[in-house]
């Protein structure tokens, strides 16, 4: 039988069709809009990639060309498959900085296998072009082309890329315009939505290899500070240290560091306030609660959580932005920096200098400090970064806690962790600061999968929800019971009045789909902002309930606690701000969307929704986007340049 010979042009055409097919299927699955300006950018770049594939597949002998052709197509398909799997499991998109979190992916390989089975049809659709190529492998002949044809291909690529660059000027003055994203802003999610998966991956690769630096536009970083209203407020000082930024600027040769000095010099910081030292001298027990979210707070199922959320300081507009999964949430809670930059490797190494580390800061004012986690103590290098924050006695499974609790079930019990560790600190001769990282609320959610969901299955049996939301609520009951046990033990020991309990979640329960979250939510949530709406517990049983309507997020937890306990710190050098100060509220999300006290901005479609339906100027939105961009960039640069060491030394 005579073989059908694919012409050189046909190979280019086939490659173009494959890339466009993959992009459209990916957008349909992930609900990214197809018919907008991004389709133009995707089409132009697909032409460029198709010609490159054709070029590299036609310059050697036929057998070698064929291997190169199939390998290139497999790599392209694999990029789309990886993006889909990461998005389906964690709710965000893959970038190369996440390679440092590969241990998390490996740890939950079983979840990944179930994810693959659940999305088998989608994965089949993505692999379909490559499967068809394999089927017709014997009908494809790719001979070496003459140099003049390759020259023509190269010329077409140059022309197409020129058109692509010219098209970047369309709406170039818009916030997060294509031109800004391509040249100035590093936002992987917006790049995927604007330019396509393949182009975004190549941009990410290029920026990773060449240490891409985002533009910083230094403006007045103060978010429209409220002016002191009366003489009583004017007596407050700023929560700042004595740092000579002028001298640092004058003696710095590195342009990035010099820009950082200028940026923080331009910051005013936050004022102390009526709540400064409100909890001075009291004990602090701080939780990072796995997958805790406001949908878990129910008077009937989780009465202790309900009580703590609705008394003490009651924060009505608090968010836990899901960025880089658990490690991102913990990073934001413990450093006050934004994790959206994706550069968490220096954090995981434990080699950076953190003078405002929570254990170090409380030790400096005479506290004994403790840290516990009821799962593997080395997970995500937690042992290293907690040590960098000053915890020298951190205990988890596999370094001693397994002798006290059952570390062979999944997930482990928060109740057992409280029971096993309470006596370590309750008789401390000095005030104590305790940090707990819980795990009982971890997904995947199913009664066959989660030991904690099974433990409390009967308590949710009368609810009319589907299995995964039921299992989530059942697992969160374990956290509720752990808090109940803790409060009872503190009261019995006579320490409840002198102890503050603080709790924040690491991320929303992304093992639940948006529909499953909305199944048990009080209102319909969107997939970017409101799905991350949560609670910040800050409670002492002697205080009256104080409601706070200002917007806040995980990065504000540390400076808020420091102000309340009278810890010395520099509010300019922590990106998050004391929620109780006069600083206007702001919550920043992974794709540079944000919520301020005036409303919500969605970066993917450049849409602002006012909180009270009032008219908000474009100047305010542009100003806020610049502020948000700078906060994200500075968070990254503080990490990657070990900036605190340069400013404050050892």
Report pLDDT digits (tens) over 9-47: 478 888 999 999 999 999 999 989 898 999 999 999 999
Q: Is it the case that residue 337 has pLDDT exceeding 70?
A: yes
Query: Mind listing the pLDDT tens digit for each residue in 213-247?
Result: 777 776 654 444 444 445 455 689 999 999 999 99
Average pLDDT (319-338) is 92
Q: How far apart are CA 392 and CA 394, in angstroms?
A: 6
- SS3 category, 178: helix
The highest-confidence range among 226-235, 258-267, 612-621, by mean pLDDT, is 258-267
Residue 90 near residue 510, CB atoms below 8 Å: yes
- Number of neighbours of residue 570 by Cβ within 10 angstroms: 21
The highest-confidence range among 48-52, 143-147, 519-523, by mean pLDDT, is 519-523
Helices (H), 119-196: 120-135, 147-167, 178-183, 188-195
Peptide bond into 411 cis (omega under 30): yes
Which residue would you say has higher pLDDT here, 428 or 112? 428
pLDDT at position 396 is 97
Give the closest residue to 436 by CA, choosing from 370, 492, 387.
370
Residue 438 near residue 374, CB atoms below 8 Å: yes
Give the Å distances, CA to CA, from 332 to 344, 361, 487, 555: 11, 17, 26, 5
Q: Is it the case that residue 1 has pLDDT exceeding 90?
A: no
- Number of neighbours of residue 67 by Cβ within 10 angstroms: 13
- Sequence spans of domains, the chain: 8-209, 233-648
pLDDT at position 222 is 46
Sequence-distant (6+) residues with CB within 8 A of 197 are 22, 23, 26, 79, 80, 83
Q: Is it the case that residue 4 has pLDDT exceeding 90?
A: no
Sequence-distant (6+) residues with CB within 8 A of 152 are none
- Number of neighbours of residue 461 by Cβ within 10 angstroms: 9
What does pTM read for this prediction? 0.89
Query: Mind listing the pLDDT tens digit for each residue in 339-352?
Result: 976 678 889 999 99
**Residue 295 corresponds to which tokens in the numbers above?**
């949908």
pLDDT at position 227 is 47
The mean predicted confidence, pLDDT, of the chain is: 90
Beta strands in 230-344 (DSSP E): 283-289, 313-319
pLDDT at position 59 is 76
Q: How far apart are CA 271 and CA 234, in angstroms?
A: 9
**Residue 190 corresponds to which tokens in the numbers above?**
């917006």
Rg, the chain, Cα only: 27
**Residue 546 corresponds to which tokens in the numbers above?**
């104080």
Helix (H) or strand (E) holding 116: helix 109-118
pLDDT at position 581 is 96
Q: What is the DSSP string of 52-103?
A: HHHHHTSSS-HHHHHHHHHHHHHHHHHHHHHHHHHHHHHSS---GGGGGGHH
Average pLDDT (286-309) is 98
Average pLDDT (256-265) is 95
Residue 643 near residue 254, CB atoms below 8 Å: no
- Tell me how many degrees the CA angle 359-582-222 measures, rounded to the nearest 5: 90
Q: Residue written as tokens 């040249």? A: 183
Give the Å distances, CA to CA, from 183 to 172, 175, 177: 11, 13, 10
Given 3-state DSSP classes, what are the helix, strand and coil percentages for the chain, each rounded to the nearest 5? 50, 10, 40
User: Confidence band (pLDDT; 50, 70, 90) for 136?
Assistant: confident
Q: Which CATH class is domain 233-648?
A: alpha beta
pLDDT at position 87 is 86
Size (the chain), residues:
650
Please tell me what DSSP assigns to residue 489. H
Q: Is it the case that residue 620 has pLDDT exceeding 80?
A: yes
- SS3 category, 457: helix
Within 13 Å and on the Cβ side, how many CA atoms surround 68?
A: 19
- SS3 category, 30: helix
């Amino acid at each position: 039988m005579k073989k059908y010979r694919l012409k050189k042009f046909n190979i280019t055409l086939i490659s173009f069709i494959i890339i466009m097919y993959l992009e459209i299927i990916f957008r349909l699955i992930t609900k990214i809009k197809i018919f907008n300006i991004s389709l133009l950018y995707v089409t132009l770049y697909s032409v460029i990639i198709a010609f490159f594939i054709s070029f590299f597949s036609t310059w050697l002998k036929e057998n070698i060309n064929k291997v190169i052709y199939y390998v290139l197509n497999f790599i392209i398909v694999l990029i789309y498959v990886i993006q889909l799997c990461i998005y389906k499991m964690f709710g965000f998109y893959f970038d190369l900085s996440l390679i440092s979190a590969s241990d998390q992916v490996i740890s939950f390989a079983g979840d990944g296998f179930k994810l693959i089975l659940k999305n088998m049809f989608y994965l089949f659709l993505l692999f379909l072009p490559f499967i068809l190529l394999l089927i017709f492998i014997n009908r494809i002949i790719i001979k070496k082309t003459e140099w003049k044809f390759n020259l023509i291909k190269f010329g077409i690529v140059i022309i197409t890329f020129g058109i692509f660059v010219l098209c970047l000027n369309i709406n170039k003055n818009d916030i997060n315009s294509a031109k800004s994203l391509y040249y100035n802003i590093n936002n992987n999610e917006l790049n995927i939505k604007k330019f396509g998966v393949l182009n975004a991956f190549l941009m990410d690769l290029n920026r990773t290899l060449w240490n891409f630096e985002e533009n910083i536009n230094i403006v007045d970083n103060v978010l429209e500070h409220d002016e002191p209203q009366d003489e009583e407020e004017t007596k407050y000082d700023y929560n700042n240290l004595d740092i000579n930024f002028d001298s640092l600027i004058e003696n710095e040769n590195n342009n990035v560091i010099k820009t950082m000095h200028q940026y923080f010099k331009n910051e005013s910081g936050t004022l102390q306030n009526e709540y400064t030292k409100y909890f001075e001298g009291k004990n602090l027990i701080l939780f990072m609660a796995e997958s805790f979210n406001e949908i878990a707070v129910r008077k009937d199922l989780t009465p202790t959580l309900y009580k703590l959320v609705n008394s003490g300081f009651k924060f009505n507009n608090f968010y836990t932005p899901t960025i880089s999964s658990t490690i991102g949430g913990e990073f934001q809670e413990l450093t006050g920096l934004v994790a959206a930059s994706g550069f968490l490797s220096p954090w995981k190494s434990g080699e950076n200098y953190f003078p405002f580390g929570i254990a170090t800061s409380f030790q400096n004012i005479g506290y004994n400090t403790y840290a516990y986690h009821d799962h593997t103590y080395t997970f995500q290098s937690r042992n290293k970064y907690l040590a960098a924050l000053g915890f020298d006695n951190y205990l988890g499974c596999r370094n001693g806690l397994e002798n006290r609790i059952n570390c062979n079930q999944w997930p482990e019990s928060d109740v057992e962790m409280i029971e096993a560790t309470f006596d370590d600190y309750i008789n401390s001769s000095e005030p104590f600061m305790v940090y707990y990282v819980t795990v009982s609320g971890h997904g995947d959610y199913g009664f066959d999968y989660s030991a904690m969901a099974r433990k409390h299955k009967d308590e949710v049996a009368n609810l009319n929800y589907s299995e995964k939301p039921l299992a989530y609520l059942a697992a969160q009951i374990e956290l509720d019971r752990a808090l109940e046990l803790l409060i009872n033990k503190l009261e019995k020991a006579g320490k409840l009045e002198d102890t503050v309990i603080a709790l924040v979640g690491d991320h929303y329960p992304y093992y639940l789909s948006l529909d499953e979250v909305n199944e048990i939510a009080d209102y319909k949530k969107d997939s970017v902002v409101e799905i991350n709406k949560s609670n910040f517990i800050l409670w002492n049983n002697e205080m009256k309930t104080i409601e706070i309507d200002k917007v806040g997020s995980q990065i504000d937890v540390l400076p808020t606690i420091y102000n309340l306990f009278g810890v010395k710190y520099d509010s300019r050098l922590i990106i998050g701000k004391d929620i109780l100060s006069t600083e206007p509220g702001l919550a920043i999300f992974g794709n540079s969307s944000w919520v301020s006290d005036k409303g919500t901005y969605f970066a993917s479609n450049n849409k602002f929704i006012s909180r009270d339906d009032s008219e908000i100027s474009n100047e305010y939105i542009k100003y806020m986007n610049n502020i948000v961009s700078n906060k994200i960039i500075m968070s990254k640069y503080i990490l990657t340049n070990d900036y605190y060491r340069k400013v404050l030394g050892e």
